[in-house]
């Protein structure tokens, strides 16, 4: 709009300097004129609006794709949790996590898998989520390198594996940098929360013989909040800061005054960050959750042999 106003002002200056006389009555004939100059002028006037609408349509389609990617990332994290939680690692026993939950309630326990967490199992869960989110992350260099060691290892392994799977990428000298940029952005902008709870009987009760490996009401076994039992449901919550395109992101971040008097519900969802990156990045938050049960070591149920 500023460029168009500047061009209009320049035209007025040229008219005044050339002593031309403006015939405003001929403006009514423009819509019937089919000369090339008029058509070009109409295209120049409408092209910025058409381009803005087109970019918003592209951004909306990317948001829909991003929602599907985050949903798949939550499923990948839940699938990783069902496999890794019952496993034995050098620092953790089966069905146990080497971290105390941040929130412990009567029904569930929650812990956030961060980049500096000590639990090997939670690191595996977080790595699965970040790998699933990487395809939708920006590939340009934003100065956001990966922070966690496992993501750095994944980036190096992917850079070696991709040319073997897709030989055509060997001629692309920027492919390795794009892989590192995508994983680095997801490592900084993805939060993973793991929530588990004790399984219950079909009637909702938490009895001694219930399916939980770590029952709360057992008379002799002490309940441990860091233990995840057999068939206990585990939910993985993923919160990802989805990067918008620079043009539509700047447009959507502008606060507008609606004609109906209602508040603007779009600009408040757009975050603008120019401190942590080499350029201004516009993001919006996408949430997703997925739940699976742990199919590891079975419950310590009392065995009764029928005669």
Q: If we measure between CA atoms, which residue out of 211, 56, 199, 190 comes closest to residue 135? A: 190
Q: Which two tokens stand for residue 44?
A: 């120049």
Q: If you average pLDDT over residues 256-271, what whole number do you get?
A: 82
In this predicted structure, the answer to whether residue 242 has a pLDDT above a threshold of 60 is: yes
Average pLDDT for the chain: 82
Angle, vertex CA 66, rays to CA 62 and CA 69, nearest 5: 140
In this predicted structure, the answer to whether residue 77 has a pLDDT above a threshold of 90 is: yes
What is the structure's pLDDT at 207? 47
Using CA atoms, how far apart are residues 55 and 248, in angstroms rounded to an integer? 6
Give the orientation angle of helix 175-189 with respect to helix 149-165, to 10 degrees: 150
Q: If you average pLDDT over residues 87-97, what whole number do you get?
A: 85
Task: Give the Cβ contact number of residue 103 at 10 Å.
Answer: 12
Instruction: Report the range of poorest mean pLDDT among 1-5, 21-25, 79-83, 153-157.
Output: 21-25
pTM comes to 0.77
Cα 197–chain centre separation: 25
What is the structure's pLDDT at 7? 87
What is the structure's pLDDT at 303? 47
């Amino acid at each position: 709009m500023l460029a168009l106003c500047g061009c209009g002002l320049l035209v007025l200056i040229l008219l005044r300097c050339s002593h031309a006389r403006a015939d405003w009555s001929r403006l009514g004939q423009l819509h019937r004129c089919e000369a090339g100059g008029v058509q070009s002028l109409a295209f120049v006037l409408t092209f910025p609006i058409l381009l803005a609408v087109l970019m918003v349509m592209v951004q909306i389609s990317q948001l829909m794709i991003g929602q599907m990617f985050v949903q798949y990332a939550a499923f990948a994290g839940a699938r990783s949790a069902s496999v890794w939680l019952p496993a034995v690692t050098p620092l953790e026993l089966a069905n146990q996590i080497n971290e105390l939950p941040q929130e412990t309630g009567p029904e569930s326990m929650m812990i956030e898998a961060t980049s500096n967490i000590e639990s090997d199992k939670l690191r595996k869960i977080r790595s699965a989520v970040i790998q699933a989110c990487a395809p939708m992350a920006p590939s340009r260099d934003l100065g956001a390198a990966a922070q966690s060691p496992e993501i750095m290892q994944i980036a190096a392994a992917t850079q070696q594996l991709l040319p073997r799977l897709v030989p055509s990428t060997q001629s692309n000298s920027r492919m390795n940098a794009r892989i590192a940029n995508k994983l680095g952005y997801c490592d900084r902008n993805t939060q993973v929360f793991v929530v588990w709870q004790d399984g219950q009987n079909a009637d909702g009760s938490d009895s001694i013989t219930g399916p939980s490996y770590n029952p709360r009401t057992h008379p002799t076994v002490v309940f441990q909040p860091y233990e995840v039992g057999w068939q206990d449901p585990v939910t993985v919550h993923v919160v990802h800061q989805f990067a918008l395109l620079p043009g539509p992101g700047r447009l959507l971040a502008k606060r507008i005054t609606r004609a109906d008097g209602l508040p603007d519900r779009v600009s408040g969802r757009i975050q603008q960050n120019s401190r942590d990156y080499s350029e201004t990045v516009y993001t919006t938050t996408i949430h997703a959750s997925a739940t699976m049960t742990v199919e590891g070591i079975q419950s310590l149920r009392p065995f009764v042999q029928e005669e």
